[in-house]
């Protein structure tokens, strides 16, 4: 029960005036922020929806930026690959000219010099950097120069030339998330772009009586394959073929040796945690990936190997080599490049479709967010003016009703 006193009217008036001023301050803040949700208790359901919509809009904007970044990167990659195709077309023309037998050895050596210069340009393209400074064709090792050249001497050239081009980049590709739980490769590793033929690696050890002695693992193109004690070569072949790696394993019927052959024009990346591949005569056992045993038979090289082989054949005037293996390998390298260009084109088509969908989805979700949290300015100003009017009326009423001085109270 409230106590009736001389201060009761004054306290009541101050209480209700304070509540009115607090409501006016809250409305003023909402108008300034143009949001109707100042506190969660204003509308708990709308606040919960707004939080989810806001988070989703943020993710959609991030996806849109990822799509744009991958699109720009894909255009750069495509440009370098088309330049490579143009250079390879010129190299093929020189190979055809050197193979028809109408040129002297001096002429073919001049062609070899041009091929050597084009080889240097190809290596330069393969080691190209993007605008962000990362190597484009280095796979997931974007800070590592993907292709390393080794210089050597050729008697016919009379000077130092590139004798080896080794791939030092990664075998995987960094990925970007373009929609919810959907990822896309940002580039193509260089060991698949600049490769010419399907690689084939054959061991040198008769594997008919082979059995694994301990648990270990072998890695093919980054795919781990577990080996258990007692596994025979047939069990290992089955595990490799079922692993999903782009490699077909088989047993050479003549020599009973393990054979690994790629299913596409790409280097086979081999490594192991154990001694299985070493015991089968494929790796040397040094612990370095792709360090083949001396007796292992390896075929199928990179685009650079093909160009170096043509250059050396032109230096020596070996028309049989030029018209046979060299031309065939060049065609294989160009076919692989065309496939990679088609792959880039399909990626760009998907990105274009994703970008169009995001451009429509972002405004739609933003509208849902606005419906939940945005303030109706016209209504808010009207309500504020009404509160302001009633507040002023209350102050005028209080000034007339409440005692102002001690004399007025006594009177």
- Domain of residue 256 covers 200-299
Is the pLDDT at 410 greater than 60, yes or no?
Answer: no
State how far the Cα of 305 lies from the Cα of 323, in Å rounded to an integer.
Answer: 16
Evaluated on CA atoms 94, 196, 342, 361, the torsion sign reads negative
Q: What is the pLDDT of residue 238?
A: 94
Mean pLDDT of 68-93: 94
Mean pLDDT of 333-354: 93
Q: Do 230 and 168 belong to one domain?
A: no
Q: Do 167 and 241 belong to one domain?
A: no
Q: Do 315 and 230 belong to one domain?
A: no
> What's the mean per-residue pLDDT of the chain?
84
Q: What is the pLDDT of residue 39?
A: 61
State how far the Cα of 228 lies from the Cα of 238, in Å rounded to an integer.
Answer: 13
Q: In this predicted structure, which of 16-30, 47-61, 153-167, 266-280 has the lowest mean pLDDT? A: 16-30
Q: In this predicted structure, which of 111-115, 153-157, 196-200, 256-260 has the lowest mean pLDDT? A: 153-157
Question: What does pTM read for this prediction?
Answer: 0.77
The burial class, CB within 10 Å (0-12 / 13-18 / 19+), for 377 is: exposed
Domain-embedded: residue 44: no
Mean pLDDT of 377-397: 70
Mean pLDDT of 352-372: 85
State how far the Cα of 126 lies from the Cα of 135, in Å rounded to an integer.
Answer: 9
Residue 179 region by backbone torsions, left for phi larger than 0, else alpha for psi between -120 and 50, else beta:
beta
Domain-embedded: residue 371: no
Q: What is the pLDDT of residue 242?
A: 93
Domain CATH number, residue 190: 1.20.1330.10
pLDDT digits (tens, 9 = 90+) for 224-258: 999 999 999 999 999 999 988 889 999 998 889 99
Domain CATH number, residue 228: 3.30.70
Mean pLDDT of 320-343: 90
Q: Do 320 and 261 belong to one domain?
A: no
């Amino acid at each position: 029960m409230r106590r009736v006193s001389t201060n009761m009217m004054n306290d009541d008036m101050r209480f209700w005036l304070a509540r009115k001023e607090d409501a006016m301050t809250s409305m003023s803040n909402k108008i300034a922020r143009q949001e109707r949700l100042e506190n969660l208790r204003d509308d708990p359901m709308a606040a919960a929806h707004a939080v989810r919509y806001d988070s989703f809009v943020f993710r959609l904007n991030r996806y849109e930026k990822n799509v744009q970044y991958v699109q720009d990167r894909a255009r750069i990659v495509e440009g370098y690959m088309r330049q490579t195709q143009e250079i390879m077309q010129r190299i093929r023309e020189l190979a055809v000219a050197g193979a028809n037998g109408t040129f002297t050895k001096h002429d073919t050596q001049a062609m070899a010099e041009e091929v050597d210069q084009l080889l240097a340009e190809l290596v330069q393209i393969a080691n190209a950097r993007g605008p962000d400074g990362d190597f484009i064709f280095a796979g997931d090792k974007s800070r590592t120069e993907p292709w390393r050249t080794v210089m050597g001497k050729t008697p016919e050239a009379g000077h130092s030339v590139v004798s080896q081009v080794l791939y030092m980049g990664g075998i995987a590709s960094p990925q970007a998330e373009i929609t919810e739980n959907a990822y896309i490769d940002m580039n193509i590793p260089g060991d698949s772009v600049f490769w010419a033929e399907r690689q084939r690696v054959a061991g040198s050890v008769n594997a008919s009586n082979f059995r694994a002695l301990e648990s270990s693992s072998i890695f093919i193109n980054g795919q781990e394959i577990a080996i258990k004690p007692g596994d025979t070569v047939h069990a290992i072949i089955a595990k490799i073929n079922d692993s999903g790696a782009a490699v077909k394993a088989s047993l050479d019927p003549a020599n009973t040796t393990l054979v690994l052959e790629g299913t596409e024009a790409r280097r086979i990346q081999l490594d192991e945690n154990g001694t299985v591949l070493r015991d089968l005569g494929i790796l040397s056992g040094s612990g370095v990936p792709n360090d083949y045993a001396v007796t292992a038979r390896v075929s199928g090289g990179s685009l650079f190997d093909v160009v170096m082989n043509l250059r050396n054949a032109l230096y020596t005037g070996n028309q049989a080599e030029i018209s046979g293996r060299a031309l065939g390998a060049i065609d294989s390298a160009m076919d692989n490049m065309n496939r990679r260009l088609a792959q880039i084109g399909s990626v760009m088509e998907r990105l274009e479709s994703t970008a169009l969908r995001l451009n429509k989805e972002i405004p739609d979700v933003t509208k849902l967010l606005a419906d939940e949290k945005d303030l109706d300015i016209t209504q808010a100003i009207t309500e504020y003016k009404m509160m302001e009017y009633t507040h002023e009326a209350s102050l005028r009423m209080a000034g007339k009703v409440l005692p102002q001085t001690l004399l007025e109270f006594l009177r």
